[in-house]
Every structure is written in structure tokens, then in C-alpha cells.
Amino acid sequence: MKESLIHQENSYFGKLQEYLREFVYGGIDGAVTTFAVVAGGFGANLDTGIIIILGFANLFADGFSMSVGAYLAAKSEKDNYKKHQDIEYWEVDNLPEVERQEIKEIYEAKGFKGELLEKVVDQICSDKDLWVAEMMKDELNMMEETKSPFRIGLATLVSFIVIGFIPLMVYLWDFFSEVNINIFFWTSILTGIAFILVGWMKSLVNQTPALRSIAETLLLGLLAALVAYYVGDLLEQFFLNKP
């Protein structure tokens, strides 16, 4: 019983790890875009309430848009794979000699020769599913996406909203309390911690050095914030302080 529960837990966490890439990149976009909105609002000297409204509007609208885009991209990839797979099944059924020769040429290029080559080709061509799988992989260079498009979109949405909410936390706290703090300073600190966490997770996904990945993520967030801040400051001077 205990071993069964451990196996179920490992299977569950294994499923979560499959979607770590989507979670990481959704979180990066969520943190960057929301912090950019906050920085732009701060640069334009907007009221806390307005920054919160703009932040949440961006959080949910961009999060939904990005998740839909991720879902449609994954579904399109699956549909494209299925279309070419159906073509390969048709060719195996209707042009078996041509397809067999293609398998032979593929394995000749891999270094198989003589009797061993014929045995490998016979083995592959004796199983239609294996035959088609080999053609998809070696002839078309296509690999089947095993992840669910819906879960890809969901992981993107959840991470975008959860990580993207962090730049708004201090503004909400300030709005509903009377604590006198430097809002943008503490927002920057919390967002920086979020960038560090997401950057570290990105290093796990891409198998790159953690420090480099964290530095890249922090730099991306900083550049986005600086651009948004100065654009907000410029627009505030032009539109709000116009004589």
C-alpha cells in the first residue's frame, strides 16, 4: 500500500515536471509585463488605485492571451503531426516497396550493411506502427508531442497569473492599509526575488548554469522596467502636465 502511494506521488510530480517549461516561461512573461506596467505607472506618477487597475487588467488579459496562444500552438503541432502520420500510413499501405526502400536507405546511412541491414529492415517493416514511427522520425524529422495542449495552456495561465501577481502585492497592501512604506522599492525587491526563483527554474529546464540563467532573467526584467518607467515619465510630461 505504501509503495503504491509513493508510486502515485512520483507519477504525479513527474506529470508536473513535464509542464515545468510552460510554467517557467509563463511566469517570466507574467512578472516582466506586470512589473513593466507598475514601473510605467510609477514613472507617470499615477495613483495606486490606477496602477492596480492597469496591473490586473494586464495580468488577466495578457495571461489569457498567452495561454490561448500556447494552447493553439501545441494543438497545431499535434494536428500537423497527425496529418503527416496519416500520409505515412497511406503510403505504407499503398506504396510498400517505395517505403521499404526508404527505410533501407535510412539505415544504410546509419552504417548498417549486408545481412544485418536486411534483418533490420524486415523487422521494422513487419510492424506497421513501428514502420510509420521510423518514417516520421528519420524521414520527416518529426517527434510526437505527448503533452496535452490544454494542460500546456493551463500551466502557462496559472504561472503567468501567480508570478505576475507578485509586482502588485505591495500596491494592494498599501491600498488597503495605512502603512507608510516605499511602495515601488519593495515591489522591486519582491519582483527581483521572483525573477531569481524563475531564473533558477529556467536553468533546470534548459540545463544551463543557474547564475547565468538568473542574471539573464533579472536583466530582462530590469530592461523592461526601465523602458516602461521612462516611457511613463515621458508620456506623463506630455499628456498630464501639458500647459
Question: pLDDT 10s per residue in the chain (243 long)?
Answer: 444 444 444 444 445 568 888 999 899 899 989 998 998 888 888 888 999 999 999 999 999 999 999 999 999 999 999 999 999 999 999 999 999 999 999 999 999 888 899 999 999 999 999 999 999 999 888 888 888 999 999 999 999 999 999 999 999 998 888 777 888 899 999 999 999 999 998 888 888 899 999 999 889 888 888 888 888 878 777 776 655
The full 3-state SS of 47-63, as one line of letters, equals CHHHHHHHHHHHHHHHH
Indicate whether 211 and 181 sit together in one domain: yes
Domain assignment present for residue 195? The answer is yes
Domain boundary pick from 94, 116, 139: 139
CB-based contact 173:187 (threshold 8 Å):
no
Look at the block and give the residue holding cell 500510413: 89
Q: Are residues 158 and 60 in the same domain?
A: yes
Q: Is residue 181 part of a domain?
A: yes
Half-sphere exposure for 30 (CA within 13 Å, toward CB): 28
Q: Are residues 228 and 110 in the same domain?
A: no
In a shared domain, residues 188 and 164: yes
Specify whether 112 is located in the same domain as 164: no
User: Same structural domain for residues 134 and 225?
Assistant: no
CB 198 within 8 Å of CB 28? yes
- Asked, for residue 241, whether it belongs to a domain, the answer is no
Q: Which domain holds residue 191?
A: 24-71+147-233
Q: Confirm if 135 and 105 have CB atoms less than 8 A apart.
A: no
In a domain, 191, yes or no: yes
Q: Taking the model in full, what pTM does it have?
A: 0.80
**Structure letter (DSSP) for residue 126:** T
* 16 inside domain: no
Pair 133, 178 in one domain: no
Looking at the domain assignment, is residue 239 inside a domain? no
Residue 65: inside a domain: yes
CA distance 158 to 34: 14
Q: How many domains does the chain have?
A: 2
